Amino acid sequence: MSQPANDTRVPLIEPGEVSVDIKRENEFGALTSKDYLYKVKSTHGKQLKPSVFEAPPYYISLITYLNYLILIILGHLHDFFSMTFMKDKNIGLLEHDGYAPWYSKFESFYTRRMKKRIDDCFSRPTTGVPGRFIRCIDRISHDLNEYFTYPGTTTMCLNLSSYNYLGFAQSEGQCTDAAIEAANTYGSNSGGPRNLIGTTDLHIEAEKCIAAFVGKEAAMLNSMGYSTNANFFNSFLDAKCLVISDELNHTSIRTGVRLSGAAVRTFKHNDMDYLEKLIREQIVAGQPKTSRPWKKIIIIVEGLFSMEGSTCNLPALVALKKKYKCYLFVDEAHSIGAMGPTGRGVCDVYGVDPNDVDILMGTLTKSFGAAGGYIACDQWIIDKFKLDVSTVAYGESIPSPVLAQIISSLKTIIGEIHPGEGEERLQRIAFNSRYLRLGLRRLGFIVYGAPDSPVIPMLLYCPSKMPAFSRMMLQRKIAVVVVAYPATPLIESRVRFCMSASITKDDIDYLLRHVNEVGDKLYLKVSNGKSSVPEDGRPPRWTIEEVLEKTPEDCKHDEFFIEEQGLIS
Amino acid sequence: MDSVSQGLPKSIPIPAFLVNSFSLFIYTMNNYVPGGYLVIEYVKKSHHDDPYRTIVELLLFLYGVVYYLSKPKQSKKTLQNSKEKYNSLSKNEIDMLIDEWTPEAIVDDSEIVEESKWRLAKIPVMDSNGIKKYLNMTRDEGKESYKNVFNMSSNNSLALSYTSKEITDEVNKTIKNYGVGACGPAGFYGNQDVHYRLEYDLSEFFGVEGACLYGQDFCVAASALPAFNKRGDIIVADNQISLSLQNALQLSRSTLYYYEHNNMESLENLLKDINDSIASEKLPDIPRKFIVTEGLFANSGDIANLPELAKLKYKYKFRLVVEETLSLGVLGATGRGLSEFYKMNRANSIDITFGSMATAFGSSGGFVLGDRHMTFHQHISSNAYCFSASLPAYTTRIVSKTLEILRRDNSSVSKLNELSKLLHSKFMSSDELSKYVIIKSNENSPILHFELRADFREKNFEYTKEQLYEKLSILQRRGFTTMFFDEYEDEEVFLQKIVDSVLENFNILISRRQIMLKHETLPILPGIRVSVTADMTSEEVSTSADSIIQTVLELCSSL
């Protein structure tokens, strides 16, 4: 490449010269043994036992707060000197020539002074397919992440960071072929908004496929997942409606609800007793000031919460919704495709009839390797939405290659093309998720989430352990995502492993060995055993060899997961 | 310890446990706590000097304990009221109230909705030929079918994404190497080299310091602008901005002012007033101040007066935000947008530009252009950027390639300008047409908008723009879910008749302006839009313009 070695811009990387077989294997590892499959069981309308969100030992919390204290003090010192002596560098933060600063010093303090220190762990540029392995572009940090240079080389890392749940991020296979064909026949442009000119028969087909898949009468597509939520609620809610929202709901939902002007009450994550109390209270009290009854009350939850890995308690929610005549909106951004015996999301997990949920929303970015989002509900409601949801008339429609990817991946999951392949993918991700979760718990880490959830958050607590963990994993060629405040509570910094069907059991062994080693070095094994099945009353601290020997078999059994021990009807 | 109780007056009954624990406390303080005796000495001395002080301090301490143990009170008054009301009722009463409550349907299911549903049947559905110059389409669930329709409805003005082999090859190559989805948000390995490259390409092409990519053009403004604004900031906006900007203003929570559409005098007066009132308030910090407008207005097709805006923005220390969804790639000799159209420098004149990759660049997604401080802040705090997955790799390559083509060869832009002017002159030259319709579009706009003349509308549909806006505002204030006005509906039906007639008789696809009254907070009217794309020929545009004009005349005169 003609790229100079110390360029500060991300180079455009030429695809590597590898044979098709190796490329395919890099994107989607072949299954090594039939033992490494797990068929998810539906709970048939029963509730799982609630996950235990284990609290860390007191000294860990204390150290974490201390850690922040030091960071904040240093940050303010840093700010003081920087603002006094290096005014030019901080022009975005300071008043100049009578203009107000671009953004507030106080509000951006966290990102400038804390996130900046670990910026090398975020936004790592990649190239190629984000499949089983991801090709990270090497970069060298300068002046405490002030800027980066790119030598033009890349590193293949094991990918636990992409939302590639079912492994459809591929450049080989039926989905890619379909996408290319669509690009060549339909073209890759979108033309304009759906109601104006942006609709093709491919849109209609994709909508029908999705509706059939999620078990609703009709569906409606939008070209961006975030905007599906952010521009949705104002089409049917107003200031006289009440939204009851889980406290951990995604920003897109909050933005959308804010745009609608509806009143909002939040309830503690998955706390059904409090939710019921809140609903009763709100129905009785009605709107504030006027005390008139609410026009409608809608409960908004996510199917699988992206930072905790926990599922919503759908059977209880449906019961509440029916009892109190509320409406239920479930955002299945992470769960659709990735969870349930047939991949149909959280309804499938609990064996709940999709018709008991009023509106199902989901994104196509994740399990389907495409882009965009959908809303699924009854036909007459969709018809109304087509006249009322702003993106349909003002935003662009989904381009055809993406639609082709959606349709072909959906058909693979239900077994219409390549029968058996979709089922294998579902069983692989279920096995992988259970194996990694149980393995980590046995090693002594604190891990959140439902057993089958492909989102596996492992708690790190101290902010300083985040960059350490991320960098050490990168040295071991594993790409992981570390998350902290504001996406999580302040002290609960975590690493989030996103499991994928493309990863093999050997990859997880490799991962476990390294996480074990790094976990020892960083003192991360602090579980007291409350979130896992107790073994002789002691906190779990298995050795890595024991874990690798027993977990692949054990993880297929209910008795090793506290959530699956006895379902509540 | 006996000695202590002996020292006390007999008449005051003090419980023994108090005396005991107090003496134990003093004993431990003296003997076990290092430095404890100093505290005791101090208290003794202060008690000796001023006995009342001890009582006051003791009371203070007790008050602290009581305060700490008392239940925290609800801070929100409304919440408290609802709780009080709830607690004052018995369980039976509550159950009865809950039983009585009948919510409205999730979406409006009244008959009015049925009446506006004719629009659904009029949405064109293309077949596998895609959305190109000539297309095959069906409507009303396949009941109507048209072949080889001339497409005068597309936003893909430059049409490079399907006419240039270079771009179609690049799409194939990129999907072969990157797959389709990026499978992650920008911060978490979702940004690939192609995304970074497009940001560099965009900023170079438009001559700014940085760019920031978004997944959909409609949500760019609504996410990017609120990232900078908070309560107390000031936004001055044109009163004909499109819905995406209206949403952005609503989410920004700033103080809003509107100036008359493209009226620089009205703007200047407003800016002067605002600055005066800020000066009189003597605030500790200057608020952020923005002027918000559109490059090529989505609802009329006219163009903002950038030289004047730039002058005012410097004079009154405002920042200029321009939504250029429809003007980038279209205006100016090489498609560099509004600033090139007025032969100005973008970096000096516009602070924030919102652009779309789904219009002239023929891909999908949107972007923001601006200086490096602005883009830095976008990258860390704009919701739709941080919490949403990156664009598919191939969409970014289309735009990068388009920019590359435009850089070496601007023939598609000049061709488009030529066609736009031709279309415009055709419509303007018909005297008869001007009796019925009014055209506000600029001659350089590839989308020509026309709407019925005010007097003609009043005569036939019996309403004016002001009346519609008034009714709309009232219903919006009252929180109505469905906006339905008979006279507005009649006009829409009439306009659709024009569209249908053009389609049936001449095989040309034009369309009504897409409006969702429910969301619009500014005055708006129905209209028809006719657009040209760069791959058309002059003859095609000329003959179709004649056909459209003929149809409009026929239908309007027969009203």
Q: Reply yes or no on whether the pLDDT at B493 is more than 90.
A: yes
- Judge if B490 and B527 occupy the same domain: yes
CATH classification of the domain holding B323: 3.40.640.10
| Domain span at B245 | 163-408
Beta-carbon separation of B216 and A111 below 8 A: no
- Judge if B404 and B427 occupy the same domain: no
Mean pLDDT, chain A, rounded, equals 91
Domain assignment present for residue B33? The answer is yes
User: Residue B77 has which token pair?
Assistant: 């008054």
Query: Percent of chain A beyond pLDDT 70?
Result: 98
Give the pLDDT score at B28.
83
Beta-carbon separation of B389 and A250 below 8 A: no
The model carries a pTM of 0.90
From the options 3.30.930.10, 3.40.1640.10, 3.20.20.70, 3.40.640.10, give the CATH code of A174-414: 3.40.640.10
- Judge if B249 and B363 occupy the same domain: yes
DSSP SS3 for A331: strand
How many CB atoms within 10 Å of residue A428?
A: 25
Nearest by CB to A259, from B138, B188, B251: name it.
Answer: B251
Helix (H) or strand (E) holding A432: helix A421-443
CA distance A118 to chain B (A): 12
Domain assignment present for residue B129? The answer is no
Give the pLDDT score at A189.
86
Between A312 and A534, residue with greater pLDDT: A312
Q: Reply yes or no on whether the pLDDT at B25 is more than 90.
A: no
User: For A30-46, what is each residue's pLDDT tens digit?
Assistant: 999 999 999 998 888 88
User: Is residue A569 packed enough to be buried (19+ CB in 10 Å), middle (13-18) or exposed (0-12)?
Assistant: exposed
Chain B hits for A401, Cβ within 8 Å: 171, 175, 180, 392, 394
Give the pLDDT score at A116.
87
Domain assignment present for residue B210? The answer is yes
Between A536 and B467, residue with greater pLDDT: B467
Domain assignment present for residue B154? The answer is no
Last residue of some domain: B70, B94, B115?
Answer: B70
Chain A hits for B242, Cβ within 8 Å: 394
DSSP SS3 for A298: strand
Q: Reply yes or no on whether the pLDDT at B5 is more than 60.
A: no
Nearest by CB to A238, from B109, B161, B479: name it.
Answer: B479
- Judge if B281 and B393 occupy the same domain: yes
User: For A59-89, what is each residue's pLDDT tens digit?
Assistant: 999 999 999 999 999 999 988 998 888 887 7
CA distance A293 to chain B (A): 7
Give the pLDDT score at B52.
85
Chain A hits for B402, Cβ within 8 Å: none
Chain A hits for B492, Cβ within 8 Å: none
Strand segments, DSSP code E, in A150-284 are 154-159, 218-222, 242-246, 263-267
Please, which residues 418-447 of chain A have a Cβ atom closer than 8 Å to chain B?
A: none
| Parallel/antiparallel/unpaired status of strands A478-479 and A154-159 | parallel
Q: Mutate one of A396, A409, A481 to test the B interface: name it (highest B CB count within 10 A).
A: A396
Give the pLDDT score at B4.
56
Give the pLDDT score at A2.
45
Nearest by CB to B106, from A122, A236, A364: name it.
Answer: A236
Beta-carbon separation of A171 and B175 below 8 A: yes
Nearest by CB to A185, from B128, B363, B516: name it.
Answer: B128
- Judge if B429 and B552 occupy the same domain: yes
Beta-carbon separation of B172 and A222 below 8 A: no
CA distance B324 to chain A (A): 14
Contact yes or no for B503/B149 (Cβ under 8 A): yes
Q: Mutate one of B183, B314, B449 to test the A interface: name it (highest A CB count within 10 A).
A: B183
User: For B314-343, what is each residue's pLDDT tens digit?
Assistant: 999 999 999 999 999 999 999 999 999 999
How many CB atoms within 10 Å of residue B519?
A: 21
Q: Tell me the average pLDDT across B139-144.
A: 90
User: For B251-282, what is each residue's pLDDT tens digit?
Assistant: 999 999 999 999 999 999 999 999 999 889 88
| CA dihedral sign, ordered B234, B240, B245, B251 | positive
Chain A hits for B153, Cβ within 8 Å: 192, 196-197
Range ranked top by mean pLDDT from A279-288, B70-79, B532-541: B532-541
Query: Percent of chain B beyond pLDDT 70?
Result: 96
Maximum CA pair distance of chain B? 119
Q: Which residue has the tokens 């560098």?
A: A89
Complex confidence, ipTM: 0.94
Beta-carbon separation of A184 and B187 below 8 A: no
Helix (H) or strand (E) holding B134: strand B134-139
CA distance B444 to chain A (A): 19
Q: What is the DSSP string of B91-113?
A: HHHHHHHHHH--PPPSS--SHHH
Residue A341: partners with Cβ closer than 8 Å, 6 or more residues away: A39, A40, A41, A42, A348, A349, A426
In chain B, the number of structural domains is 3
Q: What is the DSSP string of B307-338?
A: HHHHHHHHHHT-EEEEE-TTTTTTSSTTS--H
Q: What is the CATH number of domain A33-159+421-563?
A: 3.90.1150.10
CB pairs under 8 A between A and B: 407
DSSP SS3 for B352: strand
- Judge if B366 and B430 occupy the same domain: no
Q: Band the pLDDT of B219: cuts 50, 70, 90.
A: very high
Beta-carbon separation of B518 and A235 below 8 A: yes
- Judge if B404 and B415 occupy the same domain: no
Q: Which residue has the tokens 């919440």?
A: B79
Range ranked top by mean pLDDT from A360-364, B299-303, B373-377, B470-474: A360-364
Instruction: Check whether the bond before A130 is cis (ω within 30° of 0).
Output: no
Domain assignment present for residue B229? The answer is yes
Give the pLDDT score at A505.
95
Domain assignment present for residue B438? The answer is yes
User: For B415-438, what is each residue's pLDDT tens digit?
Assistant: 999 999 999 999 999 889 999 999
Q: Where are the domains of chain A?
A: 33-159+421-563, 174-414
Beta-carbon separation of B183 and A400 below 8 A: no
For helices A174-185 and A400-413, what crossing angle results, to 10°? 150
- Judge if B251 and B356 occupy the same domain: yes
Beta-carbon separation of A388 and B186 below 8 A: no
Closest alpha carbon to A480 in A490, A492, A491, A471: A471
Is the Cβ of A137 closer than 8 Å to some Cβ of chain B?
yes
Beta-carbon separation of B189 and A176 below 8 A: no
| CA dihedral sign, ordered A451, A456, A460, A463 | negative
DSSP SS3 for A302: strand
Q: Mutate one of B175, B216, B294, B402 to test the A interface: name it (highest A CB count within 10 A).
A: B216
How many CB atoms within 10 Å of residue B149?
A: 19
- Judge if B285 and B369 occupy the same domain: yes
Domain assignment present for residue B79? The answer is no
Q: Mutate one of A28, A109, A190, A485 to test the B interface: name it (highest B CB count within 10 A).
A: A190
| CA dihedral sign, ordered B500, B501, B505, B511 | negative
Give the pLDDT score at A433.
95
Is the Cβ of A158 closer than 8 Å to some Cβ of chain B?
no
Please, which residues 161-200 of chain A have a Cβ atom closer than 8 Å to chain B?
A: 161-164, 168-171, 175-176, 179-180, 183-200
Nearest by CB to B217, from A126, A395, A401: name it.
Answer: A395
Beta-carbon separation of A296 and B242 below 8 A: no
Chain B hits for A111, Cβ within 8 Å: 380-381
Beta-carbon separation of A371 and B391 below 8 A: yes
Q: Tell me the average pLDDT across B82-104.
A: 85
- Judge if B396 and B422 occupy the same domain: no
Name residue A374's beta-bridge partners. Answer: A221, A362
User: For B453-466, what is each residue's pLDDT tens digit?
Assistant: 999 999 999 999 99
Chain B hits for A98, Cβ within 8 Å: 286, 317
DSSP SS3 for A230: helix
Q: Reply yes or no on whether the pLDDT at A525 is more than 90.
A: yes
Give the pLDDT score at B73.
58
- Judge if B32 and B167 occupy the same domain: no
Q: Band the pLDDT of A220: cuts 50, 70, 90.
A: very high
DSSP SS3 for A228: helix
User: Is residue A420 packed enough to be buried (19+ CB in 10 Å), middle (13-18) or exposed (0-12)?
Assistant: exposed
User: For B474-489, what is each residue's pLDDT tens digit?
Assistant: 988 887 778 888 899 9
Nearest by CB to A186, from B130, B191, B380: name it.
Answer: B130
Q: Band the pLDDT of A193: cuts 50, 70, 90.
A: very high
Q: Tell me the average pLDDT across B237-258.
A: 93
- Judge if B225 and B185 occupy the same domain: yes
Beta-carbon separation of A295 and B103 below 8 A: yes
| Parallel/antiparallel/unpaired status of strands A359-363 and A373-377 | antiparallel
Beta-carbon separation of B171 and A401 below 8 A: yes
CATH classification of the domain holding B515: 3.90.1150.10
Closest alpha carbon to A387 in B167, B308, B121: B121
Q: Reply yes or no on whether the pLDDT at B83 is more than 70.
A: yes
Query: Percent of chain A beyond pLDDT 90?
Result: 73
